[in-house]
Structure 1
């Protein structure tokens, strides 16, 4: 009798869920055959598979693919993977779907309600508060930091001279971490010199844990995550990160001699000044935004710099034009005093960076989450749907980028303004990257400095990158080139 009741209940649930799924319109989108227990979660088992599997899904099923999360029988949790320009434009150009997907919550232990994660009125308030901190007049003052920290990078890269291969990633990542520490917190960390290694370790471990939680059913849910060793590792590393930021904040707050008209204010200085003047940001809110800037501002720019240098190694004719632009600006001087205006005048280098970020967007996917039923193109997308905007795939769509696999910086000389959502390495719309101008200036500063000092060549045999989506696009086997010092 009990078995009969259970069967009836299960059948009732099944037909109810089927009815919901048909009503919500997601049946319009094609989907791969799901696993009966895992749905489509089992399609990706490591970060190295994310890009290739996503590209294969788009190739096999079309520009928008429906995916199920969890057991097929019960699953009403669905996701859409899309490179459809019109759906992406609909999402990014409006203010209806602003909430980030559930995966972003894995960063919440570190970043709290920082700008990357928060939503609703809280996000709108903080976005409005933080926007003035990225005014070009303030960005100008950061250029000397880019330059001085970049000089240390050049010294460190000298270790690679005469070697058959140089993995750029560890060198560049420490450089961008040093830059972000000094610009975000006003603190020189000297990470490139081997100091504060505990902080570097904690950043790496915290990022690793957050990324791996996405791919692990046991670690995915907070209710079971505590059973894993990484739960306790994360607590240890977060204490290091939070203690460091709190100590810097308290030190600045207690320093009564702080000049509020300081010529080169760090991001933290601006937040503290605004908080004191307006009394609307708590110490914890300031900590969350500074940590968010630390997280979002180092790995992304490191990825952009490394992949651009990798592309330059493969395209000597492009590298020659980048060098020529530098010589037109500075002659044969390898260590000129760079200004904001001169960085702005590096137009061809900007095209090169944009093309690299098209082929290898630092943030290859972004996610949004529907909080209410939403109609798009005659289809009802129900609330609680995760929508993954696959930027890597969108950037390789031949409808918008002829010969999409080719590295052609000149395509950005006259990019079609009628398709603003076809190229979105910094996202777009109201939730676009608040620090995109900062990132472009930093990448120009570092890449131009390296090109002036070194000829970048491919390894022999040529190093093939193994793309890995770790929140930020990386190469699992490094980004290896040959560096030859210029005379």
Structure 2
């Protein structure tokens, strides 16, 4: 305890001296009251308090405000939080504001310099290479995998027929991981059968730790992080995560690369570039695999789970999804679904988009200014974090009348004049490279579940407890009731 007290005292002195030198930065923007030393982490104390407090700040102080998430050495100590459309569009479309906000550095031990974190020419070069892995012809080849992996999920869900509730997020996450392994990585890992499920748990642990390090006096610094239990949890999680991705790479690397005129999927493309063109080192290759394994399953699993929750709460909309399926396939629960069929699921696409509006899988993203920038009549200083509160932006009545209401029809005639009002996959040069992959997978899984099950709310109704853990989660699960259709 004495050691903790001494460290805290030293931090306090250092933080105060540094804070005093920055107190005039961003002074034009409104700032909610905060602790004189700790800033706003006196109220934003956990992953479950982020959504509530940011929503409250925006409501009371305007669409762009200044926050100090801790003393000056904290990664988000000098930040603007915004849902202002003009500002969002200005920054996300800007070709010189591409660096991620400072809190992303907590991903380094896990994802290295992968596409999520890298910037500059390195990022541009890797982005150009990886874009080739998401060509339409490749996505068409993945539809069969979406369907076969989804069939395993249907079997797992069938065990809960008539039960009081099932936490769909847990099962969908395993399905999404199997999908990403078999499609982008070209390797069957059979996670849904109980193999390699430690990977999923480790991803969840790392997601929590990354956010909590942003908010903790002790965890924020590598010099004191080792004093906490999370340091050892992270150490063990990283061993599992890196071991899993290495096993995926090794399963492909030791096989000769086939000479083919076909377009290649993600890992095959990386291996070819690394082997033939000597552009990627093996270390860089693993960092990109780690990044896409994480981003390619965790966000999709969250999105699918929230869609099931919304359909359970809205039986009329669920019936419309079912009728669309019957128009395409009749009463066949297991039709041979094609890429064209998935494209024709227009109402289901509206349901997906509306759910992603209310529950964006990535509710917060950030950028970092490496030079002073001018926006309207304001100068944004160098070294400022700009935090886009997507969850709040998507619930703005300026763009979405009755924003708290679930209305998929709003996306049948969505006003494309304001493309930056709806950004579940980010926007601009750093938008999500795998968004079309995610939409196809989501359509495949949701349509399959709706054909097989009626989805109902639990009794009593399960209330979500939202948490920001790199992706949007519910700390008490996402629970529904399932009933097999005749």
- Aligned pairs (5 A) from 1:207-222: 207-222=207-222
Cα deviation for residue 266 of structure 1 reads 4.1
Cα deviation for residue 251 of structure 1 reads 3.8
Counterpart-to-counterpart distance in 1, 2:441 and 2:253: 28
Name 1:428's counterpart in structure 2: 427
Task: Report the secondary structure of 2:27's partner residue.
Answer: helix
- Aligned pairs (5 A) from 1:56-455: 56-71=56-71, 77-256=77-256, 258-261=257-260, 265-455=264-454
Cα deviation for residue 94 of structure 1 reads 1.1
Task: Report the secondary structure of 1:162's partner residue.
Answer: coil
Two-structure CA RMSD over aligned residues (Å): 2.3
Alpha carbons of structure 1 residues 52 and 183: separation in structure 2 relative to 1, 3 Å: same
Alpha carbons of structure 1 residues 458 and 15: separation in structure 2 relative to 1, 3 Å: closer
Counterpart-to-counterpart distance in 2, 1:201 and 1:13: 38
Name 1:36's counterpart in structure 2: 36
Count of residues in correspondence between the two structures: 473
Q: What TM-score comes out, normalization by structure 1 length?
A: 0.92
Cα deviation for residue 239 of structure 1 reads 2.2
Counterpart-to-counterpart distance in 1, 2:441 and 2:220: 35
Task: Report the secondary structure of 1:383's partner residue.
Answer: coil
Task: Report the secondary structure of 1:80's partner residue.
Answer: strand
Cα deviation for residue 72 of structure 1 reads 8.3
Counterpart-to-counterpart distance in 2, 1:202 and 1:72: 30
Counterpart-to-counterpart distance in 2, 1:333 and 1:183: 25
Counterpart-to-counterpart distance in 2, 1:11 and 1:262: 62
Counterpart-to-counterpart distance in 2, 1:127 and 1:237: 27
- Aligned pairs (5 A) from 1:47-58: 47-58=47-58
Deviates more, 1:416-425 or 1:215-224: 215-224
Contact 1:17–1:76 under 8 Å retained in 2: no
Deviates more, 1:226-235 or 1:464-473: 226-235
Alpha carbons of structure 1 residues 158 and 173: separation in structure 2 relative to 1, 3 Å: same
Counterpart-to-counterpart distance in 2, 1:240 and 1:74: 28
Counterpart-to-counterpart distance in 2, 1:198 and 1:122: 32
Contact 1:45–1:215 under 8 Å retained in 2: yes
Cα deviation for residue 193 of structure 1 reads 1.2
Deviations 1:112-141 (A, max 9, x none): 110001011111111011101011111111
Counterpart-to-counterpart distance in 2, 1:75 and 1:209: 14
Contact 2:99–2:367 under 8 Å retained in 1: yes
Counterpart-to-counterpart distance in 1, 2:32 and 2:484: 51
Counterpart-to-counterpart distance in 2, 1:202 and 1:472: 14
Counterpart-to-counterpart distance in 1, 2:134 and 2:271: 15
Alpha carbons of structure 1 residues 263 and 374: separation in structure 2 relative to 1, 3 Å: closer
Contact 1:182–1:266 under 8 Å retained in 2: no
Counterpart-to-counterpart distance in 2, 1:73 and 1:485: 54
Counterpart-to-counterpart distance in 2, 1:320 and 1:188: 34
Task: Report the secondary structure of 1:81's partner residue.
Answer: strand
Task: Report the secondary structure of 1:217's partner residue.
Answer: coil
Task: Report the secondary structure of 2:421's partner residue.
Answer: coil
Q: Which runs of 5+ in 2 are unaligned?
A: 1-14
Contact 1:133–1:270 under 8 Å retained in 2: yes
Counterpart-to-counterpart distance in 2, 1:477 and 1:62: 31
Contact 1:36–1:72 under 8 Å retained in 2: no
Counterpart-to-counterpart distance in 1, 2:368 and 2:16: 29
Cα deviation for residue 225 of structure 1 reads 1.4
Counterpart-to-counterpart distance in 1, 2:178 and 2:33: 47
Deviates more, 1:225-234 or 1:401-410: 225-234
Alpha carbons of structure 1 residues 280 and 62: separation in structure 2 relative to 1, 3 Å: same
Task: Report the secondary structure of 1:220's partner residue.
Answer: coil
